[in-house]
A and B are shown apart, each in its own frame.
Chain A
Amino acid sequence: EAEVAQSPRYKITEKSQAVAFWCDPISGHATLYWYRQILGQGPELLVQFQDESVVDDSQLPKDRFSAERLKGVDSTLKIQPAELGDSAMYLCASSRYGDSYEQYFGPGTRLTVT
């Protein structure tokens, strides 16, 4: 069964450093999502791509976060510089195009900023 792949699974970084996460969606899924899940809270959407275009990045802190999906397949989420409050689980999900399709989630990247 196809799965959403994410790496790394765990990342520890010092504040003010740069960090990047990678996501490979299920083949054929045109829509890709990055969510952030702070401990004890539900996931919150950071950015949604349709192919290589950003559909929604209203909750992305653009002064330090950036996301790209250059060829409309895999995606990278970057934080520079990292802050203590960025410690969280970063989840990637993908779906086929259209609002009736299920979002499939990857295992996530656990980020700890020290």
Chain B
Amino acid sequence: GNSVTQMEGPVTLSEEAFLTINCTYTATGYPSLFWYVQYPGEGLQLLLKATKADDKGSNKGFEATYRKETTSFHLEKGSVQVSDSAVYFCALRPYGGATNKLIFGTGTLLAVQP
């Protein structure tokens, strides 16, 4: 079946450090891949997406590349800020089918210290 596995948190970094949050997936065909972010007390927001192999999604300094050969979609940022502290969810949308449902990983809490 379809599933997403992401690294457990919390991830604690100092401001301006490099961030990597690992995400791997299991799916048939060619799913679309997403990173969502959830700030405290708020709903999930789409951070970036990629819809086919080798696509790179990017937004607000965050990047992730769709790697079909390793079934991965790791999130990276070169220099994190305190304001990046949040929970990050990797998700996939299965290829085809009648629904657009998203399948999420368990989330990774990022805490950035000044």
Contact = CB atoms under 8 A, between A and B. Distances in A.
Interface of A: 4, 31, 33, 40-45, 48, 55-56, 91, 93, 95, 99-100, 102-103, 105-108
Contacts, number: 53
18 contacts: A33-B101, A40-B107, A42-B103, A42-B104, A42-B107, A43-B102, A45-B99, A45-B102, A48-B99, A55-B99, A56-B99, A56-B101, A99-B100, A100-B51, A102-B49, A105-B43, A107-B42, A107-B43
Nearest to A56: B99
B91 A42 contact: yes
A23 B43 CA distance: 13
Interface residues of B, number: 24
Contacts of A107: 41-43
B44 A43 contact: yes
A31 B36 CA distance: 19
Q: Would you list the 3 A-B pairs with minimal beta carbon distance, nearest first?
A: A42-B104, A105-B43, A56-B99
Contact of A95 (B36, B98, B100, B106): B100
Contacts of B57: none
B43 A103 contact: no
B104 A99 contact: no
B42 A48 contact: no
A33 B93 CA distance: 14
Interface in B34-62: 36, 41-46, 49, 51
Given A106-B43, A107-B42, 16 more contacts: A33-B101, A40-B107, A42-B89, A42-B103, A43-B102, A43-B104, A44-B104, A45-B99, A48-B99, A48-B101, A55-B99, A56-B99, A91-B44, A100-B51, A103-B100, A107-B41
B4 A42 contact: yes
A59 B106 CA distance: 18
Contacts of A102: 46, 49
B42 A103 contact: no
B37 to A, nearest CB: 11
Interface string B89-114: 10101000011111111110000000
